[in-house]
Structure 1
């Protein structure tokens, strides 16, 4: 059972990404997606990251709000 505090830094860690505030900002500035592209379909995710995003959204997991926040940040 996942008992970690769910915040943007922990979402980045869950995705296997550097989760320092500076690296999060750099990631968001570097990776943009079109409004008609699903977040999970963005070309910069690896298969594991894509699966985590899709599964979390399908299961309405605790991560959903943060995934939605990241989605908004990347637009």
Structure 2
């Protein structure tokens, strides 16, 4: 069975955030860069439900894991 492919904007929608390009860029700019030692799900910008979703996506290597990894990289990238 083929895994669904999620777009970066789909992840923002799943997290209940604005998902247009400008909003995504603004979110990353506002909340990054995270310290290297901060796991994405532990970032202070998430509510409990969002953090749980991110933890589960990574731990279960769910179909969301790849796009969560992309967000993780974007939030940790130095500006």
Question: Would the TM-score normalized by the shorter structure come out above 0.5?
Answer: yes
Q: Which whole-Å CA distance do the structure 2 matches of 1:71 and 1:13 have between them?
A: 16
Moved segments of 4+, more than 2 Å: none
Runs of 5+ consecutive residues of structure 1 not aligned to the other structure = none
Per the alignment, residue 45 of structure 2 pairs with: 44
Deviation at 1:73, TM superposition (A): 0.3
Q: Which whole-Å CA distance do the structure 1 matches of 2:72 and 2:5 have between them?
A: 19
Q: Which whole-Å CA distance do the structure 2 matches of 1:36 and 1:54 have between them?
A: 15
Aligned length: 73
Task: Verify: 1:19 aligned to 2:22, yes or no.
Answer: no
Q: Which whole-Å CA distance do the structure 2 matches of 1:38 and 1:16 have between them?
A: 20
Q: Secondary structure at the match of 1:51?
A: helix
Q: Tell me the TM-score normalised to structure 1 length.
A: 0.92
